Chains A and B, each alone.
Chain A
Amino acid sequence: MENNIDTIIGVNVTLKGNLYNKGSIQVNGSVEGEVKSDENIIIGDSAKIKGPVIAKKIEVSGEVIGTIEAFDKLEINPTGRITGDLKAKSLIIKEGAAFVGKSLMPSADAADITDVKKEEKDKDDETEKEIDEEISKPADKPESVDKLGFFSKK
């Protein structure tokens, strides 16, 4: 991610309110409020954000309690912990990261739904075919079952 940063919130720094920047933002401290950028937001290991995070690209290595919206890409690193819903065009969740919430990928929605429906239809057709084949098979001889004693009683 680019390092042309306009605002840096250092460790042990608390920001209360809404931070909006045209340039990139790096968060290493605590924020209570909205963090919004037209460029990138980098959330460091020591960062804790309670509020929505909105930017073009977002990289999460710290804790976020709130919704995250990345117009381009969202990357959650192994130390990242998110409690809230995600909306991102591209999403990368690395092993070890924690995410509790729903995720939505807006640009891929239409295509994905069509694909899913097509796959489901194909699956249904296959299942129907298998059932038909099963039905058309000759029935098992009752003797083999009878050995187990299920049909022996009259």
Chain B
Amino acid sequence: MYYYIFDIKRCKNKSLVTDIKSYLSALGISGEFTYPSTAYTTEELVELGISKKYNTIVGIGSDDLANSIASHLCGRPEAMGMVPLEASPELCSLIGAKTWREGAENLRYRKITNMKIGKTANGNGFLTDLELGLKGPTEVTIEFRDYLVQAKITKLVISNFNPEIKKIGPDFLDVVFESVAPEQNVISRLSNFLGLSKEKQNASFSLFRGRSLRLFTSSQIPLTVKGQQIAKTPQLIETSDEDLRLIIGKKSSILQ
């Protein structure tokens, strides 16, 4: 019933692998364990699990593993579970499990929610946040359906799920960025430094929502999920047309 894809690189000590397996057996939800490697990538393992007629594919690992599994299971009847190891607070909040034990317990109760995932044009998906890997202030243009936005920014996050942002709809991506003045002279910089600027600090933050957007920059910039590059600009980013069936816990923020 359960097909586990175990990213053992996330286990700081080898005894943790045994501990997790034993705990899952004790909960009565043991199954087949597989491990991503150069021989079998995560994507290939997911396909293998589906072909073996498993109805639940579980990732044991972090955000990169979760996103790879989600990308392949989105739109399919098989459910996805997650046992977090070194996972981001956003992913933990989404699945409602801060520890691997809590993640394992969620699997036993098998509470399933249908959710959209974020997708880039190259087919890579993301469950939580996608970040533009900026090294300094950069001019960007974001094209939404009815309008386009231009700004010089220092940080940009495209969020499919973030507990800190109240979503307006399940199929909307939230785009948050921090803008800077296009050109600042010495007096402006001094004014900012001394806190004399009339512009409030929080007024530099922007928030936009959209089902689909195109992101343009003057040069190619990587789009990353927790440090791992999944695409580059220019890029089309949108929510998936179909749902992912995700196993979550009672503490999941998606339920609030």
Contact = CB atoms under 8 A, between A and B. Distances in A.
A binds B: yes
Q: Is the interface of B mostly helix, strand, loop or mixed?
A: strand
Contacts of A20: 146
Given A6-B168, A7-B209, A10-B204, A15 B181 contact: no
A83 B138 CA distance: 33
Contact of A12 (B152, B207, B209): B152
Interface stretch (A22-30, A98-106, A114-122, A138-146): A22-30
A39 to B, nearest CB: 12
Contacts of B177: 10
A8 B209 contact: no
B109 interface: no
Given A12-B181, A12-B204, A17 B198 contact: no
Contact of B147 (A6, A12, A33): A33
A13 B151 contact: yes
A144 B182 CA distance: 80
Interface residues of B, number: 25
Interface in B181-230: 181-182, 198-199, 203-209
Interface in B141-179: 144, 146-152, 166, 168, 177-179
B212 to A, nearest CB: 14
Contacts of A18: 146-147
Interface residues of A, number: 25
Nearest to B148: A16
B198 A46 contact: yes
Given A9-B206, A12-B151, A15-B147, 18 more contacts: A5-B207, A7-B208, A8-B207, A10-B151, A10-B204, A11-B179, A11-B181, A11-B199, A12-B179, A13-B150, A13-B151, A13-B179, A14-B151, A16-B150, A17-B146, A17-B148, A23-B168, A29-B151
Interface of B: 144, 146-152, 166, 168, 177-182, 198-199, 203-209
Interface of A: 4-20, 22-23, 28-29, 33, 44-46
